[in-house]
Amino acid sequence: MQILKDVHLDLMGKRNIALIFSAVLLLIAVGSIIVRGLNLGIDFTGGTLVEVGYPQAVELPVVREALAKDGFDDAVIQHFGTSKDVLVRLAPREDIESAVLSDRAFSAMQGIDPQVDLRRVEFVGPQVGDELTEDGGLAMLYALIGILIYVGLRFEYRFAVGSVIALVHDVLITIGFFSLFQVEFDLPVLAAVLAVIGYSLNDTIVVYDRIRENFRKIRKGDAVDVINTSVNQTLSRTLITSGTTLLVLIALFLFGGEIIHGFALALIVGVVIGTYSSIYVASSSVIFMGVSRADLMPVKKEDGTVDDMP
């Protein structure tokens, strides 16, 4: 079975349309990040979160009242997954140590039904949240620098810049998606964004590898033709791998449980964007930077020996 057989689409000819498409996506993403910001989870903002499971379905107003009675008027309460599970976000309070806030709230909720099960408590102090935000930003930066160096060494600097442009493109759009739809951005989502960097790059490298090989093999046609051929040749692989990855991610999204939702969503968005970007963004940015056949020819032996001479 074969889905794409001998495709020769003029993908690169449409690179200007793709450029506009990417620009619009980026504009929306960055605009949304600036205007709406991210719905940061308590991992970054600091705060307290309690998840409890009641033996029977419970009405939210009942929980709200029980908490209000104990002074938690501004707690944000929602069902989590099922109507038996309740997620409560607590605001810091002047009269209670923040570290024991969750214990008080839990005992208030025990008032409704003593059989209630404490499923999860997350408390993150404000200073820890700030550190995580900083570390997360740094981690992304380090990953990008590491990749820039590796691709620069293995290929050529324009390819390194091209792959990093594609990565920044993917990361911004993924984060922009979370901002636009105000999906909670927590630590697992950040990890997923970092994984997107790895994944999207994986795709890009495969395409670049083919471009390099074809530049050396195909003697006719200009750079755009060669790159177009390369993208076409790798197209079915790109789509198949993205397809299998999306298959498992959708399984994870549907069956992996509430906690892993954001994580799976970030990867799904990232993989879709990453697939698109490895076809268009990574390859066309190399064209824009004017890569030519001569840049990728293997260095001749003589040059090497000359370099070694004092």
Does 97 bind other proteins (CB under 8 A)? Our answer is yes
Does 221 bind other proteins (CB under 8 A)? Our answer is no
Residue 137: Cβ-neighbour burial (10 angstroms; 0-12, 13-18, 19+): exposed
Taking CB under 8 A as the criterion, which residues in 265-304 touch other proteins? Answer: 267
Q: Find the shortest distance in angstroms from Cβ 310 to other proteins.
A: 33
d(C-alpha 242, C-alpha 170), whole Å: 14
Please list the alpha-helical segments (H only) found in the chain.
15-35, 42-45, 60-69, 101-110, 126-154, 157-180, 187-217, 223-255, 261-279, 281-288, 293-296, 301-308
CB nearer to other proteins: give 172 or 260. Answer: 260
Taking CB under 8 A as the criterion, which residues in 51-70 touch other proteins? Answer: 51, 53
C-alpha distances in angstroms, 166 versus 25, 122, 255, 285?
A: 13, 35, 31, 8
Which part of the chain contacts other proteins (CB under 8 A), choosing from 10-18, 222-230, 246-254, 280-288? Answer: 246-254
Residue 203 phi/psi, 5° resolution? -60, -50
Does 46 bind other proteins (CB under 8 A)? Our answer is yes
Q: Find the shortest distance in angstroms from Cβ 251 to other proteins.
A: 4
209: which residues sit within 8 A by CB, 6+ positions away? none
Choose which of 224, 246, 272, 289 interacts with other proteins (CB under 8 A). Answer: 246
Residue at 225: amino acid letter: D
Residue 114: count of CB within 10 angstroms of its CB: 7
Is 203:235 a contact under the CB 8 Å cutoff?
no
- CA-nearest of 263, 203, 265, 288 to 239 is 203
Q: Find the shortest distance in angstroms from Cβ 135 to other proteins.
A: 5
CB nearer to other proteins: give 11 or 268. Answer: 268
The 3-class SS string of 186-224 reads CHHHHHHHHHHHHHHHHHHHHHHHHHHHHHHHCCCCCHH
Q: Find the shortest distance in angstroms from Cβ 101 to other proteins.
A: 10
Does 178 bind other proteins (CB under 8 A)? Our answer is no
Does 92 bind other proteins (CB under 8 A)? Our answer is yes
Taking CB under 8 A as the criterion, which residues in 101-160 touch other proteins? Answer: 102-103, 106-107, 117-128, 135-136, 138-139, 142-143, 146-147, 150-151, 154
Q: Find the shortest distance in angstroms from Cβ 280 to other proteins.
A: 18
Choose which of 8, 61, 94, 290 interacts with other proteins (CB under 8 A). Answer: 94
Taking CB under 8 A as the criterion, which residues in 194-213 touch other proteins? Answer: 194-195, 197-199, 201-203, 205-206, 209-210, 213
Choose which of 71, 111, 152, 188 interacts with other proteins (CB under 8 A). Answer: 188
d(C-alpha 131, C-alpha 139), whole Å: 12
Helix (H, G, I), strand (E, B) or coil at 104: helix
Residue at 237: amino acid letter: R
Which part of the chain contacts other proteins (CB under 8 A), choosing from 9-17, 172-180, 182-190, 223-231? Answer: 182-190
Size of the site for other proteins (CB under 8 A): 81
Does 9 bind other proteins (CB under 8 A)? Our answer is no
CB nearer to other proteins: give 31 or 146. Answer: 146
Does 223 bind other proteins (CB under 8 A)? Our answer is no
